[in-house]
Structure formats: structure tokens, C-alpha cells
Structure 1
């Protein structure tokens, strides 16, 4: 199952549940005008869609993968604006498009489980149930450092640095999904972990290949050489 299929299944189920909830009544508001009231029934409908089976690894995987995805999207959005290569721009757009609905899905799980988001949790105090916190950085570089690094370069140098950092970022995600698949119990979290693992393994190969096509930048002269 790929990311688009998972998003389609989850999204379709939510739409159906919201529609059934609306038909069942309980609200005096008219159905027309939908957008402003769509979030209210979603919470009440979600319990039927979210498996309550979970352990600490499932919760911490979900909390931290939300943060991890949000970091990837920040970098990907920068690439879609600043990359000099059309292929790197397209990759940035694809990463954002894939990970944004996954964030929505994972946040909905946390709400239904009655768990805090990662923003509400002291990250330093989390042991991740054995999950490698190295997944939250890029080869020792924090998210803030990575963003600053990307802002300091442009052209081909930007493209290369983005690919290098995103490869490290994806490898961190693979470490996180491996822990979830090994020790998590929630079937939906495990299924998403597998989707993320499969997709990001393919993207790492793609980024490695893109790196091979880009000129090497001599940092001393800032000139591209074959």
C-alpha cells in the first residue's frame, strides 16, 4: 500500500463518517456551508476509525513522526522554491504532498488516544521506548541548523545540500519506522510505518541518483566542476 492509497482510504472513511454523523442529527446547524463546521463531527466520528490498541512505542512513534514530517516539509518547501534543478523542485513538492496528509492522520490518532502532541511533551524527557532519537537530526545537524545551512547556499550548491540533508533525514525516519514495526502494536501505526519506510527507501535511492547527476561544487572557488 503506497502513501496515496493510504491517504485515500483514510480520507474517504472520514468523509463517510462525517456524513453519517451529520445525518444522525444532534446539531441544529444547517448542513449547507460545510467547511466551517466540518471539524466538529470529525472528532466524534473518528473513534470508529482509529484502533485503540496501542503501546508506548506507538504513541511516541506518532508524536515524533509528526515532528519529523514537519521538519521535512519545511525543507521540501524551500527546495520547491529555491532549487535550480527541476527534478529537485519536483521532489520537494512530492515530499510535501505525501507527508502533509500523514501529519493530519497521525494528529487525529493522538487526539483520539487522548495523548499529547510532541509540542506538548518534553522531548528531552522521552526515551522513545528504545526508538533512536538520532532520527530527529541529520547527521548530527539539528533542524534549525539544517535550515540555516540551506539558506546560506543557492544554485547547484543548494540542490546538493538539500539532497544530502534530506537523505540523512529520511534515514532517521527509517530508524523510527523500524522501531515501530519491531515493537509497536497499533495496526494503523504499523501500517503507516511500513508505508513511510517503503516510500522513503525509494526516495533515498532517487536522491542518491540525483546527486550523481549534479556537478561537484568546489567550496573554495564556488565553481562547478564535472
Structure 2
């Protein structure tokens, strides 16, 4: 049972649902909820924090603070973007832009990597502990049959490689750590809203359902699963 939990992107659609569900399931746990624009939580076991994810000094301080009294049992990174007011997924090469590429990579690849840099070392070494970052099935190279979405696909494929690298390194010093990425499915959220008309019937999930499914996946993980990507249904997403 996780006693010390940290969630990044806690103010987002899935991040807030992870926070709510974990607070309810583990009322005795200490939960640290980080976001760029935090909101106060009514739950007594949730402490909210404001954080610039690209500020390494702040990340280092945060890792020190949350692990001061106990190692961290569970880290969930629920950050990332697919589109903004100025960015939409590319349909073809002519839509590529260096600035857009850098914004997508920064949010989807660099931020989770920096969080891992400071929070994987403070994971519990005496019992199973998990570092999980939200990825996407479209980051699978072998499963790409439609093309398009260049920067988003590439950023998630890169994130999956980061997860694999971190898992290999962490295994040397923490045999109890599980480093993984998770595909939540298509969640009814501002992120997916422009693309929902193409989602097959029954495949547009509520945040509550997706978060619940992913927490079940996390709870079923074993150390040999470290470095892998798993979908909401528990199936492994191939590279």
C-alpha cells in the first residue's frame, strides 16, 4: 500500500482524478499534488503545491521535501499537451514548425524526464515503488499505420525511450522500483475535444474510468514490468 504519493499535473483532467481516487482509496497516505496553477484540496491528506516543472532547483527542493520523512512509494506524472490555441497536430510535413516541435517536446518529453531525474532517486527501496508517466499509444512506432501528428507521436516515442532508459539505470540501485509509462485511452477532456468525432463508440472514456483503470494497472505491476508501456486495459503497448 502506498503511503507517500506524489502527483504532477494534479490540476489537469486526469491528474485531478488520480488525486481524488488515491485520496479516497488511501486515506492514511500523504499525497503531494503538484501543478502550475494549484487549487486547494478539500481532502485532508492532500497537500497542493505550485511548481514550474522546468525549474530544476524547484524540482530538487520538491523531491527533498516530499521524501524528508519517508521515501516515495508512487509518482504519477500526468502532464503533457497535444494542442494549444496556437498548435494543432500536424497532418503533413508542410505543417511542421521548429517552434511547435520544441513546445511539444518540452511538455511531453523533457518535463517527465526532469521529474524522473529528481524523484526516481527518492523512491522506496524497501518495498515496491512506482514511477509512472502518461504516454500514448500513438507513440508506438510499430503501431503507426496512419502517419501525421509528427511532433506529438515523436515526443511520446521519445518519452517511452526515456522510461526505458530510466528503468535500466534504476534497476542498478533500486531493485524494488518500477518505472513505466501508461496509455490512458481517449479521455473526454479539453485535450481530446477537437478529435472526439473520430473516436469509435464506447472508446471515449471519462477521466474517472481511465484513472481507475490505470490505478488497477499500477497495482498489478511487477518488477519485471519496469521499462514498459501499458494501456488502460493492462495490455502492453509495443515500441
Q: Counting strand residues as a fraction of each chain, which structure ranks higher? A: 2
TM-score of the pair, normalised by structure 2: 0.27
TM-score of the pair, normalised by structure 1: 0.28
Larger gyration radius, structure 1 or structure 2: 1
Q: Counting helix residues as a fraction of each chain, which structure ranks higher? A: 1
